[in-house]
Structure 1
Amino acid sequence: MYITITPQKLGGSYSQSSADFVGYLEKENQNLEQEEMEHFFNQYGDEISAEEVVKDIDGNGAKLKKTEPKFYSITVSPSKYELNRLQNSSEDLKKYTRELMKDYVASFNREINGRLVNINDIKYYAKIEHQRTFKGTDREVKENQPYATKILQLKSEIRNIQEGRSGGNIKEMKIQIERLEKEAPHQENNKRIVQGMPKAGNQSHIHIIVSRKDASNTFSLSPGSKHKASEVEMHGKNVKRGFNRDQFFEKAEKTFDKTFDYQRNFAETYTARKEFIKNPKVYFTSLMKLPTNEKALAFKIMGKAGIPMVPSIPVTQAQLAMKLVKRLRRGVEVAIKSSSIGI
């Protein structure tokens, strides 16, 4: 499960309207029939129009400055193992979203009128998407880049020859291009992976737009708070503040597991991934104590996440050299960052 929370920031200030972001989320509906479209929904309603979403979110930012985010974007991307557990991606993820947002409000250390924040205190809209494309920051694109650069150079040389600016063997250059296309390490459907190419397989994920202000447009509820749980005196009163991101992610996993009867592997847990960064020796000690089948699946999951594996994984702490630890940690940091709650 990969969850990110980001404020919609443009340059030095935050977006003053949700229109561009909502429009971006409508991209998959282009050229689709009405019955094939995925619509916005919230805790109680379905088939909500993009216009209504923009109007409601934009109208709920009272007294917020340009230097403060008006809304947050939450992206929830289940792993392929989690998606395989679903019967109907759209309906199941919609069901999960509504339970997830209860976990979201429960992670605030805030009170409204003397009571804890509840699901009716937030204003949010969500949308299910089923497609993803490779980005320039993806490992596959980066590792294919040297081949892409050489191919681009050869194509440029061919154009120069064709337009009479230089000489050379075009046929030989085309053979080199074909070879480079096949030698690129990352392929999909027998084609070199490039930025913008659709990703294969089930890519269903959830986009959520949630207002910074509560539903009454009075109180600020920021998941970007640097505080987990604390109290501060304001206008002579003690006010609770903070958002526990660790708690939110842990609850998100447990809610998914409970909702879909999912048996989560050790390597998939948020706690284990944090332990890998904090204390790799403890992580590998716990890993090696797993039953054989679970341990094999854990290694497979780690490999898919881009963690560089070695021929022999040490069995005891004494065998775990720090050089190996540092190498593994460097390789997994990107995956860990995208796997956690990040502001």
Structure 2
Amino acid sequence: MYITVTRQHMDQTFSQSSADFVTYLEKENKGKSFDLQEHFFDQYNDRISPEQVIAEIDGNTAKLKKREPKFYSLTLNPSQRELKAINNDPTLLRRYVREAMKDYAASFYRKTPVSVDSIKYYAKIEHGRTFKGFDKKVKENQPYRAEIARLNNEIRKIHRGELQGSIKKRQKQIEKLIEQTLHKIDGVPIKQGMAKPGLQTHVHIIVSRKDVTNRFSLSPGSSYKESEAKLNGETVKRGFKRDQFFENAEKTFDKLFGYDRNFAEHYRNRKTFVRDPTTYFAQLTGLPVSERGLALKILNESGLNVPNLNIPANKVQLAVKTFHKLKRAMQVAQKSTSIEI
């Protein structure tokens, strides 16, 4: 489960309306009948119109300045393994979102605990993802695509009489380049905008910066970490315990669906991977053979191409360099699950 928290972001100031973002989240509903569409939902309602979402979010911004975000975006990104565990069932996913939002509310550091009923949020399930320009497979395919584009341009020029040469020769070169391209789906080279294969269901959640009373600010941003400050002579608790939210949201999924989470799927271990590959590697090599094998499979399926690590734990340093190379790949993978709004 990858969870991201992104603030509304538009250069130096913030849009006064959520309309553009809500419209963006409606993209999968285009051309579908009402009954086949995925609707916005909140803690208690399954069908909320985009117009109501915009009105509720835009009307809940009292005393927020132009340079302050009006809302935040959360994305809950179950892995394909997690989606298989719930049969990719949107009803179960909505149930999970509602429980996870209780974890979200409880992660605010306040004198009086925050409940989910204090949060104004609207969620939307999406079923597909497309390859982005920064995806590893797209970048590795780019030299082949550039050469194919050059040859196609030459073919067009020959047709127009602007260039002399053999069209057949260039067509054969293109066929060879397509065959040599590193990453393909059903024989078609992967490029930006192409749909990703397999289960890609995920959830976007738009959360108001203000609570339901439109009086108190509830910011989960990284700038608002758990802290205490003096206000009018009184100690005030503020901030958001992001690590607690991520870990509890994982535990909630496991408890709801009896999911057996592997070492490689734990948020705390992924965090160790990024910050301290040496420790992560030592822990991984110390796992029982079956669990380590599954962890390596999960890592490889994520696109990290981890080599076979069935070596004694006392030889950890021999392969630490591999994990340092993977660190950047992990960071890129994490970025691909979030969007700017």
TM-score of the superposition, structure 2-length normalised? 0.94
Q: Distance in 1 between matches of 2:224 and 2:68?
A: 17
Q: Deviations over 1:188-241 (max 9, x none)?
A: 122111111112221111010000001100000000043432211123322110
User: Is this contact kept in 2: 1:147–1:184, CA < 8 A?
Assistant: yes
Q: Deviations over 1:91-137 (max 9, x none)?
A: 011000000100001110024xxx21111111000011111111112
- 2:70 corresponds in structure 1 to 70
Q: Distance in 2 between matches of 1:69 and 1:168?
A: 58
- 1:82 corresponds in structure 2 to 82
Q: Distance in 2 between matches of 1:139 and 1:216?
A: 44
- 1:328 corresponds in structure 2 to 326
Aligned to 1:223, which of 216, 220, 223?
A: 220
Cα displacement (A) at 1:337: 5.4
One-letter identity of the residue aligned with 1:228: K
Cα displacement (A) at 1:87: 3.3
| 1:234 to 2:220 alignment | no
User: Is this contact kept in 2: 1:89–1:204, CA < 8 A?
Assistant: no
Cα displacement (A) at 1:13: 1.4
Q: Deviations over 1:70-101 (max 9, x none)?
A: 00111111000000001352101100000010
| 1:107 to 2:107 alignment | yes
Which runs of structure 2 are paired with 1:10-49 in the superposition (5 Å)? 10-49=10-49
User: Is this contact kept in 1: 2:72–2:206, CA < 8 A?
Assistant: yes
Cα displacement (A) at 1:279: 2.7
Q: Distance in 1 between matches of 2:336 and 2:144?
A: 27
In structure 1, the gaps of 5 or more residues are: none
User: Is this contact kept in 1: 2:119–2:207, CA < 8 A?
Assistant: yes
Which runs of structure 2 are paired with 1:189-338 in the superposition (5 Å)? 189-312=186-309, 314-321=311-318, 322-335=320-333
User: Is this contact kept in 2: 1:308–1:331, CA < 8 A?
Assistant: no
Change over 3 Å in CA distance of 1:332–1:88 after alignment to 2: closer
Q: Distance in 2 between matches of 1:88 and 1:296?
A: 25
One-letter identity of the residue aligned with 1:235: N
Cα displacement (A) at 1:139: 1.4
- 2:53 corresponds in structure 1 to 53
One-letter identity of the residue aligned with 2:240: F
One-letter identity of the residue aligned with 1:126: A
Cα displacement (A) at 1:313: 5.2
Q: Distance in 2 between matches of 1:335 and 1:132?
A: 13
One-letter identity of the residue aligned with 2:81: Y
TM-score of the superposition, structure 1-length normalised? 0.93
Q: Distance in 1 between matches of 2:194 and 2:311?
A: 38
One-letter identity of the residue aligned with 1:68: E
Q: Distance in 2 between matches of 1:36 and 1:313?
A: 47
Q: Distance in 1 between matches of 2:334 and 2:88?
A: 28
Cα displacement (A) at 1:318: 4.1
User: Is this contact kept in 2: 1:273–1:336, CA < 8 A?
Assistant: no
Q: Distance in 2 between matches of 1:339 and 1:252?
A: 17
- 1:5 corresponds in structure 2 to 5
Cα displacement (A) at 1:335: 3.0
Change over 3 Å in CA distance of 1:254–1:49 after alignment to 2: same
Q: Distance in 1 between matches of 2:136 and 2:326?
A: 16
SS of the counterpart of 2:307? coil
SS of the counterpart of 1:231? strand
Cα displacement (A) at 1:187: 0.9
Q: Distance in 1 between matches of 2:337 and 2:196?
A: 19
Which runs of structure 2 are paired with 1:45-194 in the superposition (5 Å)? 45-111=45-111, 115-194=112-191
Change over 3 Å in CA distance of 1:190–1:335 after alignment to 2: same
SS of the counterpart of 2:85? coil
Identity %: 53
User: Is this contact kept in 2: 1:281–1:317, CA < 8 A?
Assistant: no
